[in-house]
Amino acid sequence: MSKIDRRTAMATTMMTGASLVTFSGTASAQKKKLTKDQEFVIAAGLTKEEADCWKKTAEAAGAFFNLPEIHPMDKHEVATAIHVLQNKLLGRPTYRKYLKLAKAADEKKK
């Protein structure tokens, strides 16, 4: 049996504390309530992480549109850019399904 010195005891205590903080932070993050919009896109096939990206994209758009206008085309161009991001996100579930089907077909050939 190894001898426990003060340094080892402190390191063990700090690691235990760090894991508890990490665990509680993760648990509280998982308990955060989804917005209705996030619930809708998850129901459409997005993952939780993709739904978070969806929400942040909407927040970024809202923040941009609250800025003072500098050029008349900015709103149109940003709206187009936001729609590109939204389309990319909404296409992910379909592409995942496609990859799964293609892999299954490939394995069936073997």
Residue 16 has a CB neighbour count (10 Å cut-off) of: 10
Which pLDDT score is estimated for 7?
54
pLDDT for residue 91: 98
More confident residue, 20 or 86: 86
Task: Please give the pLDDT value at position 45.
Answer: 97
Identify the pLDDT of residue 109: 87
Backbone angles phi, psi at 5, to 5 degrees: -100, 180
pTM higher than 0.85, yes or no?
A: no
